[in-house]
Amino acid sequence: SRLRQEDSPPRIVEHPSDLIVSKGEPATLNCKAEGRPTPTVEWYKDGERVETDKDDPRSHRMLLPSGSLFFLRIVHGRRSKPDEGAYVCVARNYLGEAVSRNASLEVA
């Protein structure tokens, strides 16, 4: 597979921004990437890959077609705070990868 003229590495065109959300509420961290071929998007929270509905059908986090990360409801307990943290989205294709700015999700 040789490099085609029109192919281009990913670039992030919309970065996520910091969010403060109430427990149990839905939330969206935006991310939009361009590139050819269309890049795949993955999210990382505090350096760990975020599992979404594609990995686990019971997940309360969904990867939207745009690349944004949607939370059906923010989960937050005394012991477990699975959604709070620093997020980045990473867009990849065979020409490389692009990493978004950090966005923090805080539970109010």
Residue percentage of the chain with pLDDT more than 90: 92
Give the confidence band of 27 by pLDDT, cuts at 50, 70, 90: very high
End-to-end Cα spacing for the chain? 49
Higher pLDDT pick, 55 / 18: 18
Full-model pTM: 0.92
Q: What CA–CA distance (Å, rounded) separates 105 from 29?
A: 9
Least confident of 24-33, 51-60, 63-72: 51-60
- Tally helices (H) and strands (E) across the chain: 0, 11
Q: In this structure, how many other beta carbons lie within 10 angstroms of the beta carbon of residue 19?
A: 19
- Give me the mean pLDDT over the 34-57 stretch: 95
